């Protein structure tokens, strides 16, 4: 079966800087792949290449087996949804209107009739139903992030890419959001997520890609990849893997002396 997203030897250069170096990664349907790594390691850049926003300087990318440019913009929008880090809306649209914008690729299609159901479900999944009539511009950072995620869910695509969806979120909503991502994967969606919290990645991802200076330093299941020695090299700080006392996924913490 064709992977939803496939990158082969992708390199991105801007001027003399190499943002992504020879990265190869597949994200299959039904799989949740986390991209982790230090700041500036190229996670977001790789994500934007996978999304088809940016053409790689070398290598190739396919979405459902075809180059992003070979899909028309609308067909592409029906195949993959993207959550960027920039959750801004220029005018005071209401939350419902913002989430409804996620339906726009389906306008005029047979699925058009599902709009109300898709919107209501997305609002509920992201725990923002109570905000429906608020204006987006009046929301807090975390609320904006969840509403933006609801917009992505409302798009109902078989593949999604999420760039740091948990960045502005409190403890509970971080878990909720990854729970949503997990359920998407369980229902056959291909999910790529950029994460900073390695414990979250360990708990929810099927596979983790660790990025280091633009390259994929390691790719595999959490158990294979979360190696203290590797993480120490990549992050430049000692790391401890702590077993969860209740039997959950391992917890990754920096080696602190206090």
Partner 1 sequence: MTATPAPTEVRRSHLAARASAVISVLVVALVAGVLVSSAAGQLPIAITEVIGAFGKGIGIDNAWAPSDDVLYQALWQIRFPRVAMSLLVGAALAVAGAVMQAIFGNPLAEPGVVGVSSGAALGAALAIVSGGALAGVLGTASLAFLGGVGATLLVYVMARSNGRTEVVTLLLTGIAVNAFAGAGLAFVLFAGDTADREQIVFWQLGTLGGSRWHEVAVVAALTVLGVALSLAFARRYDLLALGERTAGHLGLRVERLRIVSIVLVAVLTGAAVAFTGIIAFVGLVVPHAIRMLLGPGHRMLLSASVLGGAVLLVWADLFARTAVQGAELPIGLLTSLIGGPFFFYLLRRARNRQGGWA
Q: Does 7 bind partner 1 (CB under 8 A)?
A: no
Q: Does 131 bind partner 1 (CB under 8 A)?
A: no
Report yes or no: 25 and 33 within 8 Å, Cβ to Cβ. Answer: yes
Rounded distance between C-alpha atoms, residue 234 and residue 236, angstroms? 6
Q: Write down the least CB distance from residue 240 to partner 1, Å.
A: 38
Nearby residues of 177 by Cβ (< 8 Å), 6 or more positions away:
126, 146, 149, 165, 166, 169
Rounded distance between C-alpha atoms, residue 215 and residue 152, angstroms? 28
Selected binder of partner 1 within 97, 111, 206, 212 (CB under 8 A): 97
By CB under 8 A, what part of segment 148-187 binds partner 1? 151, 155
Cα three-residue angle 170-221-37, rounded to 5 degrees = 55
Q: Does 121 bind partner 1 (CB under 8 A)?
A: no
Report CA torsion sign: 165, 171, 177, 179.
Answer: positive
Residue nearer to partner 1 on the CB measure, 29 or 78:
78
Selected binder of partner 1 within 107, 109, 187, 221 (CB under 8 A): 107
Selected binder of partner 1 within 101, 215, 241, 249 (CB under 8 A): 101
Could you tell me whether strands 80-83 and 207-212 are parallel, antiparallel, or unpaired per DSSP bridges?
A: unpaired
User: Considering only 13-21, 95-103, 176-184, 205-213, which stretch makes contact with partner 1 by CB under 8 A?
Assistant: 95-103
Q: Which helix (H) or strand (E) holds 140?
A: none
By CB under 8 A, what part of segment 54-93 binds partner 1? 73-78, 80-82, 84, 86, 88-93
Q: Does 51 bind partner 1 (CB under 8 A)?
A: yes
Tokens 């990265």 belong to which residue?
23
Q: Does 105 bind partner 1 (CB under 8 A)?
A: yes
Q: Does 189 bind partner 1 (CB under 8 A)?
A: no
Cα three-residue angle 98-101-104, rounded to 5 degrees = 175
Backbone angles phi, psi at 192, to 5 degrees: -115, 130
Q: Does 12 bind partner 1 (CB under 8 A)?
A: no
User: Which residues of this chain interact with partner 1, rule CB under 8 A?
Assistant: 51, 53, 73-78, 80-82, 84, 86, 88-94, 96-98, 101-102, 104-105, 107, 132-133, 151, 155
């Amino acid at each position: 079966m064709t992977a939803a997203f496939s990158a082969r030897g992708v390199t991105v250069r801007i001027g003399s800087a190499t943002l992504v170096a020879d990265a190869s990664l597949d994200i299959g349907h039904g799989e949740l792949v986390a991209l982790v790594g230090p700041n500036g390691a190229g996670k977001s850049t790789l994500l934007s290449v996978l999304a088809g926003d940016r053409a790689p300087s070398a290598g190739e990318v396919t979405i459902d087996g075809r180059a992003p440019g070979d899909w028309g913009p609308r067909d592409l929008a029906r195949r993959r949804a993207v959550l960027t880090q920039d959750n801004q809306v220029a005018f005071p649209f209401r939350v419902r209107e913002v989430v409804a914008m996620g339906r726009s690729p389906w306008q005029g299609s047979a699925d058009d009739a599902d709009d109300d159901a898709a919107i209501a479900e997305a609002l509920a999944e992201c725990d923002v139903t109570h905000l429906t009539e608020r204006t987006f511009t009046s929301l807090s950072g975390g609320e904006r992030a969840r509403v933006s995620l609801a917009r992505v869910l409302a798009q109902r695509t078989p593949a999604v890419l999420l760039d740091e969806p948990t960045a502005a979120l409190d403890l509970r909503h971080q878990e909720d959001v990854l729970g949503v991502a997990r359920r998407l994967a369980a229902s056959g969606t291909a999910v790529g997520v950029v994460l900073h919290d390695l414990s979250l990645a360990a708990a929810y991802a099927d596979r983790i890609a660790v990025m280091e200076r633009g390259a994929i330093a390691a790719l595999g299941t959490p158990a294979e990849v979360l190696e203290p020695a590797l993480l120490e090299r990549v992050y430049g700080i000692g790391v401890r893997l702590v077993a969860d006392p209740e039997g959950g996924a391992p917890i990754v913490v920096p080696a602190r002396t206090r």
